[in-house]
């Protein structure tokens, strides 16, 4: 308990909403958004989380999560793993019997993430401007309860992602998500490409943006 009371993280926001992505889409979820990110994807909709925020101990974070009365918690950013204490937070949430998912860029090492956490790892495509930051060693730390996400801006991104899926046989590791950048790639266009090429992936669109429009949403 002493560790939780003294270990702090910089928090951008904690809020309750419907999960808008991944296999947990539609589930009432508490989101813990950590401040800071070493990447600068051009389509980022949470740039406000790059800086600012306020410090909270892990015990204080747990106290804020509890009243929402849901078992689903997502730790996101920014890039949550940019703060070393994120690993302690993830374990504390699992110990508190939450079903925890981590949204990470995949640029930072995921080897020490608690195995009870569902890692949602975003492999950056060329059009993101950050594909050179992908840490390919992370693939060996993924299991069937994790997910790999590709956020696609264009047909070039689609072909690149398809090649990566086939090259690494990613669908044999875990579920693969293809998601269009909101406002840049039409969902029906992406759907047709996936069907045309018979890809072993799941297409997703951001539910929260359908419900509440652009921005991170609620």
Range 120-136 average pLDDT: 97
Say if residue 146's pLDDT is above 80.
yes
Q: What is the CATH number of domain 2-40+47-212?
A: 3.20.20.70
Range 89-101 average pLDDT: 98
What integer pLDDT is reported at residue 217 of this predicted model? 47
What is the rounded CA–CA span in Å between residue 173 and residue 192?
A: 24
Q: In percent, how much of the chain has pLDDT > 70?
A: 97
- Residue of 148, 158, 147 lying closest to 191 (CA atoms): 158
What integer pLDDT is reported at residue 135 of this predicted model? 97
Range 196-214 average pLDDT: 89
What is the rounded CA–CA span in Å between residue 8 and residue 84?
A: 10
Dihedral (CA of 105, 167, 161, 172) sign:
negative
Write down the domain spans for the chain.
2-40+47-212
Both tokens of 86, joined, read 């994120």
């Amino acid at each position: 308990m002493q560790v939780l009371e003294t270990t702090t993280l910089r928090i951008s926001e904690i809020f309750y909403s419907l999960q808008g992505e991944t296999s947990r889409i539609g589930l009432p979820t508490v989101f813990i958004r950590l401040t800071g990110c070493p990447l600068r994807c051009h389509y980022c909709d949470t740039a406000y989380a790059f800086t600012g925020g306020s410090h909270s101990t892990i015990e204080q974070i747990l106290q804020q999560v509890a009243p929402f009365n849901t078992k689903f918690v997502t730790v996101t950013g920014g890039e949550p793993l940019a703060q070393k204490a994120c690993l302690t937070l993830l374990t504390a949430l699992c110990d508190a019997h939450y079903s925890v998912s981590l949204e990470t860029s995949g640029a930072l090492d995921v080897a020490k993430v608690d195995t009870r956490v569902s890692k949602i790892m975003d492999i950056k495509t060329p059009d993101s401007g950050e594909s050179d930051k992908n840490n390919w060693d992370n693939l060996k730390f993924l299991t069937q309860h994790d997910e790999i996400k590709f956020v696609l801006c264009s047909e070039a991104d689609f072909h690149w992602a398809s090649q990566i899926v086939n090259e690494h046989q990613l669908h044999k590791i875990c579920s693969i998500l293809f998601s269009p950048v909101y406002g840049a790639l039409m969902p029906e266009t992406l759907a047709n490409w996936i069907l045309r090429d018979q890809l072993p992936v799941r297409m997703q669109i951001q539910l929260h943006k359908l419900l509440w429009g652009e921005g991170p949403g609620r």
